[in-house]
C-alpha cells in the first residue's frame, strides 16, 4: 500500500477540523435559545413547544400592529370630534398597550427579535391620516384601521389552530379577542366603507 505524503495528511486533518467545528454549530441550530438568524430559518424546539416560522411571523405582526395603531389612535383622540371614533380610539390604545406588553414578553422568552418602528406600508397609513383634512379624517382613519384588522384576523385564527407552542397559542387567543373588539368598535363609528374594503381599494 503506498504511503500517504505530508500534503495528504494535512488535507485530511483540515477536513476533520472543519467537520468538528461545524458539527456543534449544526446541532445548536435546533435548540431553544439559538441565535436570531438561526431562529428565523426553521422550526426550533423550546420548553413551551415547537416555534415555527408562522409562530414567529405572528409575534412580529402583533408587535408591528401596535407600533402604528397606537399612534393612529392617539391621532384620533387629538383630531376627531366624533364620540364613536374617540371611543374606538380608546379601545385601540388600551388593547394595543396590553398586547404590546404580552408580545414583548413572549418574544423575549423565545429569542425573537422585534421591530421598533412601523414598516413602510404602516408609515404610509399614518401619513394618509396626517394628510387628511378634518372632514376626511374620521373616514380615512376608520377605513385604514378596519382594513388592517380584517387582514390579520384570519392569520391569527390559523396560528391559534395550528401552533403547538403554548405561549404562542395564548398570545394568539389574546390577540384574537383584541382584534375582534377593535373590529366591532371601528364598525360602530359609522365611517367604514365595506365595499371599498371588500374590493381591496383601501
pLDDT exceeds 80 at position 13: no
Q: Where does the pLDDT of residue 41 fall: very low under 50, low under 70, confident under 90, or very high at 90 and above?
A: low
Tens-digit pLDDT profile for residues 133-174: 999 999 999 999 999 999 999 999 999 999 999 999 999 999
Note the pLDDT of residue 202. Answer: 78
Contacts 24+ apart (CB under 8 A), 189-192: 189/82, 189/84, 189/85, 189/88, 189/138, 189/142, 190/84, 191/82, 191/85, 191/138, 191/139, 191/141, 191/142, 191/143, 192/142, 192/143, 192/146
Per mean pLDDT, which of 16-25, 37-46, 81-90, 192-201 is the most reliable?
81-90
Q: What average pLDDT does the segment 46-56 reach? A: 95
Question: The domain at 44-199 falls in which architecture?
Answer: Up-down Bundle (1.20)
Percent of the chain exceeding pLDDT 70 equals: 80
Which sequence spans correspond to the domains of the chain? 44-199
Amino acid at each position: 500500500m503506498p504511503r500517504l505524503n505530508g500534503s495528504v495528511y494535512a488535507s485530511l486533518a483540515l477536513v476533520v477540523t472543519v467537520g468538528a467545528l461545524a458539527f456543534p454549530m449544526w446541532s445548536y441550530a435546533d435548540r431553544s435559545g439559538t441565535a436570531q438568524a438561526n431562529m428565523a430559518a426553521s422550526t426550533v424546539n423550546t420548553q413551551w413547544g415547537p416555534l415555527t416560522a408562522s409562530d414567529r411571523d405572528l409575534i412580529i405582526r402583533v408587535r408591528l400592529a401596535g407600533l402604528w395603531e397606537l399612534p393612529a389612535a392617539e391621532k384620533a383622540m387629538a383630531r376627531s370630534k366624533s364620540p364613536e371614533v374617540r371611543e374606538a380610539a380608546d379601545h385601540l390604545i388600551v388593547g394595543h398597550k396590553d398586547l404590546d406588553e404580552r408580545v414583548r414578553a413572549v418574544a423575549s422568552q423565545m429569542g425573537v427579535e422585534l421591530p421598533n418602528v412601523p414598516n413602510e406600508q404602516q408609515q404610509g397609513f399614518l401619513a394618509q391620516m396626517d394628510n387628511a383634512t378634518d372632514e376626511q379624517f374620521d373616514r380615512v382613519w376608520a377605513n385604514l384601521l378596519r382594513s388592517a384588522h380584517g387582514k390579520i384576523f384570519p392569520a391569527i385564527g390559523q396560528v391559534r389552530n395550528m401552533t403547538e407552542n403554548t405561549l404562542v397559542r395564548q398570545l394568539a387567543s389574546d390577540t384574537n379577542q383584541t382584534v375582534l373588539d377593535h373590529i366591532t368598535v371601528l364598525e360602530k363609528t359609522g365611517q367604514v366603507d365595506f365595499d371599498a374594503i371588500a374590493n381591496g381599494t383601501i
